[in-house]
Structure 1
Amino acid sequence: MGIKEYDVFVIGTGTAGKMAAKACAQAGKNVAIADNKAFGGTCALRGCDPKKVLMGLSEILDRSKQMQGKGVKSLPAINWEDLQSFKETFVDAVPMATEKDLRALGISMYHQSPYFLDEKSLSVEGKTVKAKKVVIATGNKPIQLEFTGWDLTLNSDEFLNLDKLPESMLFVGAGYIGVEFAHLAASLGVKVTLIEGAERPLSRFDKDLVASLVKAMEANGVRFIFNADVYKIEKLRKYFRVSAKQNDIEIEEKTEMVINTAGRIPSIDELNLDQGNVAYSKKGVAVNTHLQNTGNKNVYACGDVADSSGLPLTPLSSFEAELVIDQLLKNKKSSEIDYPNQPSVVFTHPQIAMVGLTEEEAKEKNLSFSVKCKTQLDWYNAKRENHGFYGFKTLVDKKTNQILGAHIIGPQAAEMINLFTLAMNLKLDTQALKKMVFSYPSWGNDIKSMI
């Protein structure tokens, strides 16, 4: 049997990979796709979608606690096993449905991670294949920690699939994942400790609003330890002993379970990129403004694995996939990536959300801007739901009167930030936004008082 040849070979079956593979197949290209995990990608199987299902229960519990004594007499009883079963109804069907869709388009599927043999050849499932173009969309994976006993930790995938919750948990790392999972576990009654090497969590977000979030999470039972670097984990009979240094002082913590939430790295180590002359960095596959690899011009990358200026978010992987499709199908030969303002959300309770520049970034750019900041607001929407943590910070350009950045902490921050994103991408000034007629009383209507 001869070597199979494809017009396009896609590595990764998440949002970006599926989009590229389907579009090329629909355009008449001979397409193959490969993944060493179940087809469907991180977001649908072990990321945002299942996480949000689990967090739905914590939202109910948090809201019930807030209204206790104000109409709620007793808190709901929880059942983690039932919740996990509900979550699986969103996850279980994804791999089969994904493969069905790809098969219907005549796309060849491989269930193994391929690796480069040369610039146009790959080895996959023990076979050599050739591809005119390769799209790398493998996403990110949990980072391996470099200290004694790191292998005793669980990663985010394993946390999402726990059969039962322990009495205590310790999270190593206070980024998106660590903060969200710590909040979830604490809401469900777990004694939670979160250790972070920096002086605060969520370094990308506004420091003033993050300080409010820390207070809210502490009130919910999360214990933070900052400026502490874990260097050893040991297994005891029932507990794990976690050793760390905090400002040169030795500290120890005992817990039933340790979760590695120290970050994620590009999933590229199995691809043998050097052999394919594919340039890469610690941030991922190196790309130009066309999302074309800077070493091998036959290779493109999109989504979290690309070393681009797009944020590691599912909507951005779709955005990048569209540009790669244009390049592969020559829809727009000269098109370059042009990122819109990209919102980010941490789905705690309260949520924290941002779009655009932080105050520090605006100062570094020497921009002329005004700042409006209020926290612990007692506005109507917060009062009617008895929320203790609600606030915002907005940055407005003094010359154009356009919004440079918006930051919100509140129960509906994820939805409210979308309105700011819309206004910023449409280049609406603050007066135009204030003249909008929104429904009342709604959380969205509050944004007019934030500028």
Structure 2
Amino acid sequence: MAEAFDFIAIGSGTAAQVAVHRMADAGKRCAVIDYRPYGGTCALRGCDPKKMMVSGEEALAAFRRMNGKGIRGSASINWGGLQAFKRSFTDPVPGKQEARYDRKGIATFHGAARFTGPDRLAVEDQELQFSHALIATGAIPRPLGITGEELLTHSDAFLNLDTLPERIVFVGGGYIAAEFAHLAARAGSKVTIVQRGRILKAFDPDIVDWLMPSFGQLGIEIVDAEVTSLRAAGETLEVEAGNRVIETDLAVHAAGRGPALGKLDLEAGNVASDDERLLLTAQLRSQSNDKVFAAGDAAAKGPPLTPVSSHDAKVVVENILDNGDRTPNYDGVPSALFTEPPAARVGMLESEAREAGLEFNVNAGSHPEWFSARRLNAQIYGHKLLIQVGTGRILGAHLVGPDADELINVFGLAIRHGLTADDIKATMFAYPTAASDAGYMV
């Protein structure tokens, strides 16, 4: 006989955690299922461990910028030590997660979940019944359809390398490629990024242009080509791209991710999908099964970011508990690129604002002479702000340079809550800080 639950979360990342704890707090009998260690991508295989390792890169970059400016000596990255530092955070996560579930009486199941009916799931040979279920399975690398694709590793494995190879090729030129290329190059690897067209297409072209010298300074080669095949040659990999064959020790998939739905048997659950994406209502409910919701990367409705996963989960819980009609609000969600220096964006790209027919002014410039850059001896510091004519509202903000990943939150707050350029100018920020530059940027 199937064990019955009010709510089951499939996955144990941010969306699942937020939703299942809120449902348990509301007195519902809940369960969580994951075939991987509990914690999800962000805590175990993504943003948190990545930022732990980037901390070592930031320290080295700061040392090199200030060497000869009152700082002397030598420094380098110890990859093994950096991994140990990262694992001091990630290793306890699964146990802590399970302990939290246990304290709240949330049942935990380890294994791959699959639908066996519109209100039933199976984990191994155990069947569970649910009143509502949440698909929060995250994302996986998209298939590339190239010969030798199985020779590619991916970001999860890269972040867990015990030793760093001498040569690394990143296939694709988005966030993962840029961030890991900077980290690996500073740690001593010879890095190549292969991407057709320009890299970092999600970011403003001017911001990317200002950031590009950082790649050259690290010796990162960017090849404008499409990877057509990979093959093993002894212990070496050969990556064929355009008219070149690039020899490497490791090739990393960095060409995009999609919802991780393959293990679920959606058809058995009457959960409709199309082109490997769930068909959802605006309220994140399955269009074909009103007992099933999705959130985060599995839903693929908002930007693929951790705060979006959390927000989606809150929307889902509210709609279940109150039989509500709430829809997610993705206005003003900032996105940061953790290269060194970092870049960040929120709101519209200039091209998007023009396509929307909006009238706006552009405040932009590269300012390595500003104090925020000068005090760190940083050579890269720039901004682009899109300010709507008439209303003064900020349509988009794009930054690169020291503390861009923090300063972007000021503009995210402005966009989400309708603050104007005049509101920012009238705000007294602590000085001298990165935030105090916001008034000059608008």
Per the normalisation by structure 1, the TM-score is 0.95
Q: Distance in 2 between matches of 1:272 and 1:425?
A: 38
**Gaps spanning 5+ residues in structure 2: where?**
none
Matches within 5 A, 1:211-226: 211-226=209-224
Which residue identity does 2:144 align to in structure 1? Answer: L
Q: Does 1:235 align with 2:227?
A: no
SS for the counterpart of 2:290 is coil
Give the alignment partner of residue 418 of structure 1, picking from 409, 413, 430.
Answer: 409
Q: Is the 8 A contact 2:76 2:187 kept in 1?
A: no
The residue number in structure 2 matching 1:16 is 15
The alignment-based identity, stated in percent, is 39
Q: Against the structure 1 CA distance between its residues 307 and 154, is the aligned structure 2 distance closer, same or farther, given a 3 Å change threshold? A: closer
The residue number in structure 2 matching 1:318 is 310
Deviates more, 1:399-408 or 1:369-378: 369-378
Per the TM alignment, residue 447 of structure 1 is displaced from its structure 2 partner at its CA by 1.2
Q: Is the 8 A contact 2:77 2:186 kept in 1?
A: no
Q: Is the 8 A contact 1:192 1:223 kept in 2?
A: yes
Report the number of matched residues.
Answer: 442
Per the TM alignment, residue 429 of structure 1 is displaced from its structure 2 partner at its CA by 1.4
Q: Is the 8 A contact 1:371 1:394 kept in 2?
A: yes
The residue number in structure 1 matching 2:285 is 292
SS for the counterpart of 1:307 is coil
SS for the counterpart of 2:130 is strand
Per the normalisation by structure 2, the TM-score is 0.97
Q: Is the 8 A contact 1:283 1:305 kept in 2?
A: no
SS for the counterpart of 1:350 is coil
Q: Distance in 1 between matches of 2:414 and 2:431?
A: 19
Q: Does 1:342 align with 2:369?
A: no
SS for the counterpart of 1:61 is helix
Deviates more, 1:292-301 or 1:335-344: 335-344
SS for the counterpart of 1:377 is coil
Per the TM alignment, residue 42 of structure 1 is displaced from its structure 2 partner at its CA by 0.5
1:386-410 Cα offsets, whole Å, 9 max, x none, are 1111101000000101111100001
Q: Is the 8 A contact 1:285 1:293 kept in 2?
A: yes
Q: Distance in 2 between matches of 1:8 and 1:293?
A: 15
Per the TM alignment, residue 283 of structure 1 is displaced from its structure 2 partner at its CA by 6.1
The residue number in structure 1 matching 2:437 is 446
Q: Is the 8 A contact 1:61 1:75 kept in 2?
A: no
Matches within 5 A, 1:349-360: 349-360=340-351
Q: Is the 8 A contact 1:110 1:125 kept in 2?
A: no
Q: Distance in 2 between matches of 1:282 and 1:12?
A: 21
Q: Distance in 1 between matches of 2:36 and 2:281?
A: 28
Structure 1 outlier segments of 4+, above 6 Å: none
Q: Distance in 2 between matches of 1:350 and 1:75?
A: 20
**Gaps spanning 5+ residues in structure 1: where?**
none
Which residue identity does 1:79 align to in structure 2? Answer: N
SS for the counterpart of 2:241 is strand
Which residue identity does 2:213 align to in structure 1? Answer: K
Q: Against the structure 1 CA distance between its residues 206 and 54, is the aligned structure 2 distance closer, same or farther, given a 3 Å change threshold? A: same
Q: Is the 8 A contact 1:172 1:260 kept in 2?
A: yes
When the two chains are superposed, the root-mean-square deviation of aligned CA atoms in Å is 1.4
1:182-202 Cα offsets, whole Å, 9 max, x none, are 1100111111101012x1111
SS for the counterpart of 2:368 is coil
Q: Does 1:205 align with 2:198?
A: no
Q: Distance in 1 between matches of 2:214 and 2:49?
A: 24
Which residue identity does 2:414 align to in structure 1? Answer: A
Q: Is the 8 A contact 1:281 1:307 kept in 2?
A: no
